[in-house]
Structure 1
Amino acid sequence: MGDNSVQNNELAWLDSEFVFKIISKHSKIPVKEIKLFSKQPATAKGENYSSVMTLLNVEYVTEQSNGSNESASFIVKTRVQDETFAAIEEDYNIFERELKVYEVFMPEAERLLRSIGDDTVFGPKAIYLEDGIIVQENLKVKGYHICDVKKGLNLEQITSCLEKLAKFHATSMVLNRKNPEIFKHHMSGNVSENPTPLHYLYVYPMQTTIEYCKNNKNLQKYVPKLEDFASKTIPKMINVFSRDKVDRFHVLNHGDMWVNNLMFKNDKDVLFVDYQEGYFGSPGIDLNFFMFTSWPTDIFTNHRNQLLAVYQNVLSDILQRLNYDQRIPTIEDIKKEIVNKGFHGLTTATCILPIMINENAELADVMNFLSDTDEAKENRRKVFNNPGFGDRLIVFFDFFKEIGIL
């Protein structure tokens, strides 16, 4: 996690010759000439952590354009040039995971849906794919936008996301029965048994959350359980990313379902972006992460069962229409998976959420969350000392207590 704003001199390879390759893939008509192009950072500090995102605007001429310029806009996604993230990328192969979603899973999943008259599209169109480089259409020029993570999504937006997520999960279940090889790049867990810099993203923020709770009279009662959990966080998270016998069913998880990876044109029209953390395992992973990063507390409290029923109804409907040959998961199965992977929800709410709703954009730097220097500790305190964080924890901790993990 950190600021990955791109500098043009870091993208010297993204030259006119490479842009010509991209436009040639994009245009249905042979391209005659690239007239001009520009590249600039596509995200602000703190908006994206695991990739460099570059906005590429191009003007070009085709063989049939009679000299008039055509224009196109793309998002170019590349690896972070940083030692810490290079190690994380190597450990988790995040670019290969995302590339295979665009290259293999999406076309197959959408083909299945078309066979039953469903025109669902999961994400942006991938224009050009290469090792370490993903070029996709710029959804913003089509009117899509990202919502405010500090507010969370509204009821209709969450409903739309869960309907699409259910289709994403259901098609993965059907495809896995037909050809498990499709998911071979998504079988490794997202938390490694080997020491990795990513472990510190749980260890140090958890310490800061405990400190925060000690100073909040509404949260102090949870401190002993949090301290106990802190001593076991990594083993617990390794277990979350396992396909163990208590899992009711397995799906391809998006892996990073939160506001900044959901682009809306309106409350019903949503596309998913950023598939780098895709993992084939319990759907409780996606559901926990989505709930504890992106749902306002009133919706979480008052509409949770209704929303989970929406997910289950669509999942069941798609599986039946695609002639899935195994048992169809029930609403109780869905709820069990959320509880079984509840430690993922707890780490999300205590370690990840405060970083996402950070009110101090200047502190959105990777080392504030991955190091234990005095400066990093103080910066974490500033980030976590957020009333919006405390208000959410009060509600979420009641839920974790209810399901027996706090």
Structure 2
Amino acid sequence: MDILTKTVSEKFNSNVITDIVNKKSKFTNPIVKNISFGAPTTKGESYLSLVTRFSIEICEAGSDKETETIPIIVKSFPSNLARKETFRSVDFFENEILFYNKVWPCLDAFQKSKNVKNPLDIVPEYVHKFIYFAFKYFSHFRCLSAFTDEKNDFIALTDLCYSKYGGLPRNTSLNFEQTIEIIRTFRKFHAISLALNDQKPDEFQKIISTLQETYFDEKFRSWYTPVMNKLLLVLRSYLCQN
């Protein structure tokens, strides 16, 4: 497990692995039998973080006749300090951790209290035909563990690649059906938040006050304006050539 501490974060230690195993395993007294690493992230992807994929093979203590595998994907800070600061990784990590640990549990509890007919907690079977489409429903892309101190942050999530999902190639566009499914998913998510704001405004204000605006804030205008101007030049060049 030392390699995970060195690769992911100093805080991603054996205690974190043990906690994940105890939460996810069906065994009464699970022990780690093996840890296997997945393929590395393609160069040029995931600029906000370092992505590590691995799976934990576990069995019941005293017997290895039956095993189970827990697939995990962990996001941690980029090893390059300049990259970490340029893309404000600390801000984005903090927001995401707060969302998984505070915001979504509150929204999920609210929709369950209303006995919603089709709650936002499942992936429809027909979506499985989108083999190369990373369809990240909130509860299925479940946060297994997270830590933040602005130095050793990490977010461990269930790796959906083991459920026949995969990342969409960067040069591939979404088709109409996929786009509509994304819109429907966000429609459900925003419906829950709107209902919570209407029926429990104090609770709604409490959870949103923990988050910060990471893009559309006036204090970031000087950073984003040059970037957007450069992208506009690239877009114009492309349109002229095509």
**TM-score normalised to structure 2 length:** 0.71
Q: Distance in 2 between matches of 1:98 and 1:104?
A: 10
Structure 1 residues 16, 183: closer, same or farther in 2, change over 3 A?
same
Alpha carbons of structure 1 residues 9 and 118: separation in structure 2 relative to 1, 3 Å: same
1:92: how far off? 6.4
Structure 1 match to 2:117: 117
Q: Are 2:164 and 1:147 equivalent residues in the alignment?
A: no
Residue number among 163, 188, 201 corresponding to 2:184 in the alignment: 163
SS of 2:32's equivalent in the other structure is strand
2:7 equivalent among 2, 6, 10: 10
- Contact 2:91/2:214 (<8 A) preserved: no
CA distance in 1, matches of 2:39, 2:4: 7
Matched, 1:93 2:91: yes
Alignment map for 1:174-323 (pairs within 5 Å): 174-177=195-198, 178=200, 179=203, 180-191=205-216, 193-194=218-219, 199=223, 202-204=225-227, 206-207=229-230, 209-210=232-233, 213=236, 219=240
SS for the counterpart of 1:20 is: helix
Percent identity between the aligned chains? 20
Q: Secondary structure at the match of 2:213?
A: coil
Look up the SS of the partner of 1:150 in the other structure: coil
Aligned: 1:126 with 2:149: no
Which residue identity lines up with residue 97 of structure 2 in the other structure? Answer: L
1:137 CA displacement: 0.9
Aligned pairs for 1:307-386 within 5 A: none
Question: Which of the pair has more CA radius of gyration?
Answer: 1
SS at match of 1:146: coil
The DSSP-based 3-state class of the residue aligned with 1:152 is coil
Taking the aligned partners of 1:138 and 1:25, their CA distance within structure 2 comes to 16
RMSD: 3.4
Following TM superposition, by how much is the alpha carbon of 1:113 offset from its aligned partner in structure 2, in angstroms?
3.5
Residues 83/118 of structure 1: CA separation in 2 closer, same or farther (3 Å cut): same
Instruction: Sort the Cα spacing of 1:188 and 1:35 in 2 relative to 1 into closer, same or farther, 3 A.
Output: same
Query: SS of the counterpart of 2:27?
Result: coil
Q: 1:54·1:75 contact (CA, 8 Å) conserved in 2?
A: yes
Q: Which amino acid aligns with 2:226?
A: V
Cα distance, 1:68 vs structure 2: 3.3
| Deviation at residue 106 of structure 1 after TM alignment | 2.3
The 3 A distance-change label for structure 1 pair 64 and 29 is: farther
Equivalent pairs counted in the alignment come to 212
| Cα deviations by residue, 1:121-175 (Å, 9 ceiling, x for unpaired) | 2321222222222211110111122334423111111111101111111212222
- Give the partner amino acid of 1:117: K
Cα 1:128–1:157, aligned 2, differ >3 Å: closer, same or farther?
same
Q: SS of the residue aligned with 1:35?
A: strand
- The 1-side partners of 2:79 and 2:6 are apart by 12
Contact 1:74–1:138 (CA<8 Å) still a contact in 2? yes
Contact 1:16 1:34 in 2 (8 A): no
The letter of the residue matching 1:161 is: I
Q: Residues 19 and 212 from structure 1, CA distance in 2 versus in 1: closer, same or farther, beyond 3 angstroms?
A: closer
Deviation of 1:37 after TM superposition, in Å, equals 0.9
Q: Deviations over 1:269-317 (max 9, x none)?
A: xxxxxxxxxxxxxxxxxxxxxxxxxxxxxxxxxxxxxxxxxxxxxxxxx
- Please say if residues 7 and 41 of structure 1, whose CA atoms lie closer than 8 Å, have aligned partners that are also in contact: no
Task: Indicate which of 60, 65, 70 corresponds to 1:62.
Answer: 60
**Residue aligned with 1:80, SS:** coil
Q: Which amino acid aligns with 1:118?
A: N
Change (3 A) 1:52 1:141: same
Cα-to-partner distance string for 1:1-49 (whole Å, 9 max, x where unaligned): xxxxx99843374454542232122224344421221335552112211
Q: Paired residue for 1:37? A: 35
Q: Look up the equivalent residue of 2:85 and give its one-letter code.
A: A
One-letter amino acid matched to 1:10: T
Partner-residue secondary structure (3-state), 1:84: helix
Contact 2:37 2:53 in 1 (8 A): yes
